[in-house]
Amino acid sequence: MAMSNDDIFVPPRQRTERPSAGRAQGRGPVIDQEGREIPDPGSSGPFERFQFDFGQSSANPFGNLTREQRMARLDAIAKLLDVAFVLPGTNIRYGIDGLIGLIPVVGDIITTAISLWLVREARALGAPWHITARMLGNVALDGVVGLVPVAGDAFDVMFRANVRNVRMLKRWMDKQPRL
């Protein structure tokens, strides 16, 4: 015979009540082998309200940037990743994405993570889902094909996913009304 939910009674617990992790109720302090009292983990003492808040602080270099400044930063990072250098004797441009991508697997993971950060920043700037989905597609294609040993590195140099993504974001932002 099974019990229905109506037969089960669980007394409601108040929100302020916190179960003590290492201490039984009513037993007093816990003493270690040397005779020192072990503090209750439920009470945090003098550092209870200690926190970091970089939201409005001058310590946060990214906190108070305008949209134009954020776009300039994204553009600079994309150019550094994709077109910062010129191959001597040719007109082929490459960036640190192509250089870091030469490290097998780990390099591609690092450059994909940086590219994903650019997409996250685009989303923080208010880019809609269809723009960020296309940006994620570019990053995914760049990351997956970049895993192929030699052809992937050549593809990294030619595809330039980060520059494409920033260009796409700029086109979208140019169509938006200024606030």
pLDDT digits (tens, 9 = 90+) for 68-120: 899 999 999 999 999 999 999 999 999 999 899 899 899 999 999 999 999 99
Q: What is the pLDDT of residues 28-76, one digit of tens each?
A: 677 777 777 776 666 555 555 556 555 555 555 556 788 889 999 999 9
Domains contained in the chain, number: 1
Residue 67: its pLDDT value, please?
87
Does some domain include residue 24? no
Does some domain include residue 56? no
C-alpha to C-alpha distance for 146 and 111, rounded to whole angstroms: 10
C-alpha to C-alpha distance for 43 and 163, rounded to whole angstroms: 51
Does some domain include residue 134? yes
C-alpha to C-alpha distance for 111 and 103, rounded to whole angstroms: 11
Does some domain include residue 162? yes
Domain extent at residue 137:
67-175
Residue 37: its pLDDT value, please?
76
Regarding predicted confidence, which is higher, 45 or 121? 121
Does some domain include residue 131? yes
Residue 64: its pLDDT value, please?
76
Q: Is the pLDDT of residue 141 over 70?
A: yes
159-177 burial: b if 16+ Cβ within 10 Å, else e: bbbbbbbbebbeebbeeee
Does some domain include residue 118? yes
41-74 burial: b if 16+ Cβ within 10 Å, else e: eeeeeeeeeeeeeeeeeeeeeeeeeeeeeebeeb
Does some domain include residue 4? no
Q: Is the pLDDT of residue 129 over 60?
A: yes
Does some domain include residue 7? no
Structural contact between residues 87 and 94, judged by C-beta atoms closer than 8 angstroms:
yes
Q: Is the pLDDT of residue 3 over 70?
A: no
Residue 25: its pLDDT value, please?
55
